[in-house]
Structure 1
Amino acid sequence: MALVLCLATAGCASRQHPAAANRWLLTGTRLYVAPDQPPVDNAWVLVSDGKIEAIGSASDAPPAGLRREDACSGGVITAGFQNSHVHFTDPAFAGAASRPSTELQPPLSGMTTRFGFTTVVDTGSDPANTGALRQRIERGELQGPEVLTVGSPMYPENGIPFYLRDLPPELLRQLAQPASAEEGRDIVRKNFENGAGGTKLFVATPQGHGEIRRMSADIARAVAEETHSHKGLVMVHPTDPEGVSAAVQAGVDVVVHTTIDPPKSTWSPELIHQMVERHVSVVPTLQLWGYELAKAQVPAEVTERIVGDAERQLAAFSRAGGQVLFGTDVGYMTEWDPTREYVLMAHAGLTPMQILASLTTAPAARWSASERRGRVKPGFDADLVVLDGDPAADVRRFTHVKCTFRAGKLLFVRAAADRAGVDTLAGARPSPGPGGPLGP
């Protein structure tokens, strides 16, 4: 299927092209324009000044005389990926405002662009530190993804979860626990003033010994209303099915986990219907559950059953037409490689193209960015991923990233000589991997 698009048509570049250095060609064995369109074999993508100028197939000769990205050619091309649940709480990112870029670049690349992520959503870190990291990326001091953030999370009154109680007292005092609807609204306003683009709510938090502390329904609704008035999204940590239901009733946009509490946790057909009807998206984070249960030394056969419950929630939600967003909770979770997440999503019944949608078109739509990213389309940002193999044959290949581009700029390249295991990071030394204890 030929997809050559004339450069003179609307949406393509003008006749006055940018300088040759900003105009280049990428070729691939296969191009996924979007998950809902047929792939194009032996394809090419023409990038001009950070935008996609044109696309075509082998039967359509690309413009001659252009610089070619040879190190990145010959793979499977897709739109850039979004990880909709990350944290920058690893000590490797501490002091982002003043830390040398040579120290920040390896973990930044290793956690994000190494795996094709051109956009990430920070769902709860130190807002000032994340803001500094984002500013340095945008200034070009660091090569990284677009960073979206929800600022400081909010917890139920007197409801800090038990697993955060060992944080330093000065940090614990900063964790917001609104006691009234107006206090919640005020926190939202301050978060947006400080650069947040949404709000993170913990509507239910485990206190230990089976106790769950829940956020007042009027506070949750007020926070959601205030967030929406700023055109932001509300993301919710639900803890259990009752928390999911409370989130839906409050008018939230994204539930950032499936649930494994209580034992044999299930989402009823009625709850799933409400979620789909009210356009609530879900970030499954299936890989997280095995990670957490391993820390608790839960036997493998028990872990498998518990993770299976979460898989069934995802399967039912997806079958009902719910919008799934890819996310791993990386940064809290020290396992940076998301391969297991792809495998578990496929085991839950999602097709490779449904998984690709969760990485591309779905998050672009959820974050009101469908007119500039999520597809390989003329006029869109040149956020591109080149894979070494076709994920339609094996979803593990979503992590076989050869190159990552954001707005036409090469952020990550795995050199041909290094594919046996050594990564060459664009503008950085090889990633040392995660290290040290994590914050919330």
Structure 2
Amino acid sequence: MSNCRLEILLVAIAGLLTPVAQAQQTWALDGVKIYSAPDVPPIKGKVVIAGNKILSVATAEPRATTAMQASRCNGGVIMAGFQNSHVHFTSEEFRNARQQSAAELDIALTRMLTRYGYTTVFDVTSDGDNTLALRNRIEQGEVRGPRILTVGLSLFPSQGLPIYISHMPKELLDKLPQPASVEEAVQTVRKSLSVGTDGTKLFIATPQGDRPIKRMPADIASAAANETHRKGKLVFAHPTDIQGVQQALDAHVDILTHPPLGAPAPWPEPLMRQIRDAGMSMIPTLQLFPYELNKERVSAAIAEQLVNESVTEFGKFVAMGGQVLFGTDVGYMTDYDPTREYELMAKAGLTPMQILASLTTTPAARWNEQDLRGRIATGMEADIVVLDADPADSPRNFAAVRCAIRSGEIIYSRH
């Protein structure tokens, strides 16, 4: 067994053996700094948790509180639980989630997500039945993990699965919808949302290797988006290139799962302003670009140039007021550590508090949950991350997670 796997196994076992905050317990969490929100100066103090809610935030010892100190989580930098808005539960370790042992799923969720502070994740393509089964086991308390939102199976152009997913299991590929008509697209969306998914994802444009890119017809994309919006849900799109971004705008998509990484610089400024003015969010996934270039064995010098161009163009979008949701594409990307993502976001010009907003308040508002999540405040859901060091000192510190707490329960503890 590798050292990494052994470490995760021990973490999972320790979590199962160590008492955690139960439903109605009240306990206090000490912090050397508490960032209650990205736009509020930090304080030193305590966060008092009662059941699954934050009872109070105080700079002094709270009165009339029976507090159980979570010593393994005390003394760090406290902020709201992180949200990763671009993950996939498509890897082998999540297959057969109904029957797989809870211990193995605990290990997989720790490796990919909770050890990095994610208390909410949005899965933007997977076998919906399997992901909903995983979500149900987490919600029933069988498995420790983040809150999962999912689009289930994405919609692709007719006969247009992208070449980069050809390695995935045939049983999954055979399920992926490729609607050839407006009626088929609408029925696909209705069926998906009826079983409990939380949105729709459109692969607007899909690379086909040596053949031309396949593009989803405008009427099909618009029909799928309209049906999703009619049900009060959000629409994601994988744009691939600049033309794909324009297609997403035309279809009234809400969230781009990637920028047009690798598109020739500069990205058209009027188009970027259209995205901003339409209220469309962008998930940077900047770490994915060097990951893919390395897989393609692009030389280090050329890869660095291409990455720098995309990072610069993404920075321009942020500077003009574009909305950013943090996301990494883990599950497709096997490098789970988000440290480089934080570094590239900082390189693009995002301040530590802008990065924190992309992890907390912005996704909470995007999912219309701003009164429930995204801040450390009385009455909010007790979704909390404790870091070893202050990200104001280095973006790398966002990945230095000591504890992750979801709904008042410690779902990850490094100690």
**TM-score normalised by the chain length of structure 1:** 0.87
Q: Deviations over 1:353-378 (max 9, x none)?
A: 00000000000001111110000010
- Percent identity at matched positions? 49
Equivalent AA in structure 1 for residue 207 of structure 2: P
The residue that corresponds to 1:26 in the other structure is: 29
Q: Which secondary structure does the structure 2 equivalent of 1:286 belong to?
A: coil
> Could you tell me how far 1:337 is from its partner in structure 2?
0.6
The residue that corresponds to 1:55 in the other structure is: 57
For the aligned residue pairs, the C-alpha RMSD in angstroms reads: 1.6
Q: Is the 8 A contact 2:54 2:379 kept in 1?
A: yes
The residue that corresponds to 1:83 in the other structure is: 84
The residue that corresponds to 1:369 in the other structure is: 369
Equivalent AA in structure 2 for residue 47 of structure 1: I
The residue that corresponds to 1:173 in the other structure is: 174
Q: Closer, same or farther in 2 for the Cα pair 1:305/1:337, shift >3 Å? A: same
Separation of aligned partners in 1, 2:201 and 2:65: 49
Higher mean C-alpha deviation, range 306-315 or range 220-229: 306-315
Separation of aligned partners in 1, 2:298 and 2:327: 23
The residue that corresponds to 2:274 in the other structure is: 274
Separation of aligned partners in 1, 2:22 and 2:178: 53
> Could you tell me how far 1:175 is from its partner in structure 2?
1.4
Separation of aligned partners in 1, 2:247 and 2:177: 19
Separation of aligned partners in 1, 2:370 and 2:260: 29
Separation of aligned partners in 2, 1:278 and 1:227: 17
Separation of aligned partners in 2, 1:412 and 1:173: 36
Equivalent AA in structure 1 for residue 47 of structure 2: V
Higher mean C-alpha deviation, range 228-237 or range 170-179: 170-179
The residue that corresponds to 2:403 in the other structure is: 403
The residue correspondences of 1:128-277 to structure 2 (distance < 5 A) are 128-209=129-210, 211-262=212-263, 264-277=264-277
The question of 1:344 aligning with 2:332 is answered no
> Could you tell me how far 1:331 is from its partner in structure 2?
0.6
Q: Deviations over 1:114-168 (max 9, x none)?
A: 0000000000011111011000000000011000001110111121112233545
> Could you tell me how far 1:61 is from its partner in structure 2?
4.8
Separation of aligned partners in 2, 1:119 and 1:265: 33
Q: Which secondary structure does the structure 1 equivalent of 2:294 belong to?
A: helix
The residue that corresponds to 2:110 in the other structure is: 109
Q: Is the 8 A contact 2:200 2:228 kept in 1?
A: yes
Separation of aligned partners in 1, 2:63 and 2:397: 28
Q: Is the 8 A contact 2:199 2:235 kept in 1?
A: yes
The residue that corresponds to 1:334 in the other structure is: 334
Separation of aligned partners in 2, 1:203 and 1:362: 24
Separation of aligned partners in 2, 1:235 and 1:182: 20
Q: Is the 8 A contact 1:241 1:266 kept in 2?
A: no
Separation of aligned partners in 2, 1:188 and 1:266: 35
Q: Closer, same or farther in 2 for the Cα pair 1:291/1:20, shift >3 Å? A: closer
Higher mean C-alpha deviation, range 49-58 or range 158-167: 158-167
Equivalent AA in structure 2 for residue 283 of structure 1: I
Q: Which secondary structure does the structure 2 equivalent of 1:213 belong to?
A: strand
Separation of aligned partners in 1, 2:257 and 2:22: 43
The aligned length equals 395
The residue that corresponds to 1:71 in the other structure is: 72
Q: Closer, same or farther in 2 for the Cα pair 1:20/1:95, shift >3 Å? A: closer
Q: Closer, same or farther in 2 for the Cα pair 1:388/1:134, shift >3 Å? A: same
The residue that corresponds to 1:317 in the other structure is: 317
Q: Which secondary structure does the structure 1 equivalent of 2:235 belong to?
A: strand
Separation of aligned partners in 1, 2:381 and 2:65: 22
Separation of aligned partners in 1, 2:198 and 2:73: 33
> Could you tell me how far 1:312 is from its partner in structure 2?
2.0
Separation of aligned partners in 2, 1:355 and 1:27: 23
Separation of aligned partners in 1, 2:389 and 2:261: 33
Q: Closer, same or farther in 2 for the Cα pair 1:370/1:20, shift >3 Å? A: closer
Q: Closer, same or farther in 2 for the Cα pair 1:229/1:100, shift >3 Å? A: same
Q: Which secondary structure does the structure 2 equivalent of 1:68 belong to?
A: coil
Q: Is the 8 A contact 1:20 1:66 kept in 2?
A: no
Stretches of structure 2 that go unaligned for 5 or more consecutive residues are 1-20
The residue that corresponds to 2:8 in the other structure is: none
Q: Closer, same or farther in 2 for the Cα pair 1:387/1:253, shift >3 Å? A: same
Equivalent AA in structure 2 for residue 70 of structure 1: S
Separation of aligned partners in 2, 1:356 and 1:210: 41
Equivalent AA in structure 2 for residue 135 of structure 1: N
The residue that corresponds to 1:286 in the other structure is: 286
Equivalent AA in structure 2 for residue 56 of structure 1: A
Q: Which secondary structure does the structure 2 equivalent of 1:76 belong to?
A: strand
Separation of aligned partners in 1, 2:33 and 2:290: 34
Stretches of structure 1 that go unaligned for 5 or more consecutive residues are 1-17, 416-440
Equivalent AA in structure 1 for residue 28 of structure 2: L
The residue that corresponds to 1:44 in the other structure is: 46
Q: Which secondary structure does the structure 2 equivalent of 1:67 belong to?
A: coil
